[in-house]
Amino acid sequence: MRPIPMDIATVGGLLLAWSALFISVFMEGGNIGMFLNIPALILILGGSLGATVISFSMDTIKGLVPVLKNAFFAKKIDTAEVIRTLVGLAEKARREGLLSLESEVENIDDPFLRKGIQLVADAFDMELTKSILETELSYIEERHKIGESVFTTLGGFSPTLGIIGTVLGLVHALSKLEDPSTMGAAIASAFLATFYGISFANLIFLPIGNKLKARNQEEILMREAMIEGILSIQAGDNPRIIEEKLKVFLAPKLRGKVERGRGAYAER
């Protein structure tokens, strides 16, 4: 199995965002030490995580590592290749019958597509096949939405915890009114909590939530194309018609890839 490549957009975007933040800090004459407040960090990270744990089940929280991995590592599905595969399966089914697809099931890497072709080869009723695949798709979508909502929730709690941290810091600063020389530093330190909360929300949590949402939309579109192709094969549609039906799931500039790769697929 080939290693899943890292998503350059996610890593590069995070590096660009945080680099821009720190460059602006240095250009204003600041330094890292001025922006270091360990108690505020503990409050923002610990408080946001704690509030998020309350919001979801422990099973969901335990599953965060693979969800986070999905944001940083792109398991890219070649839509054109999937369409060519479905067209090839349609040609085989048209020549040799639906039962002949049984021999092709083990050669299909994608579990969703493999399951659909297995249902066709097992001569399931077409409506039942459609119902099973659509139910499977709805659960996939729901699982992905939960992972997305965890990071969106973190992004919602983080700024609020920042405000709480700032209020606590100001209370501490105002308790030292008898020593005005320390007031400026104490007030500046108090506002670091708000800085942390807003920065983590807008430069980590919410962007990762949006990336997971985009990943979900891409996968759901691909699965819908698979369902359309599987049902068309089961209905006995002409392979050329199936190809044209499935190409609508591709951007116009990518549709030529299906035609260019058709010969190579046939030879394989």
Give average pLDDT by consecutive 10-residue segment, the chain, 268 residues.
72 92 84 84 94 91 83 78 90 91 89 93 92 94 89 95 92 78 79 93 94 90 93 92 88 70 47
72 occurs within a structural domain: no
15 occurs within a structural domain: no
168 occurs within a structural domain: yes
154 occurs within a structural domain: yes
Q: What's the whole-model pTM score?
A: 0.82
Residue 89 is encoded by which pair of tokens? 């399966």
Q: At 264, which helix (H) or strand (E)? A: helix 255-267
For residue 2, the model assigns a pLDDT of: 55
For residue 211, the model assigns a pLDDT of: 92
9 occurs within a structural domain: no
16 occurs within a structural domain: no
For residue 250, the model assigns a pLDDT of: 83
Distance CA 214, CA 237 (A): 32
3 occurs within a structural domain: no
Provide the domain limits for residue 230: 37-60+77-268
Closest CA to 129 of 147, 113, 146: 113
For residue 3, the model assigns a pLDDT of: 59
For residue 76, the model assigns a pLDDT of: 72
Q: How many domains does the chain have?
A: 1
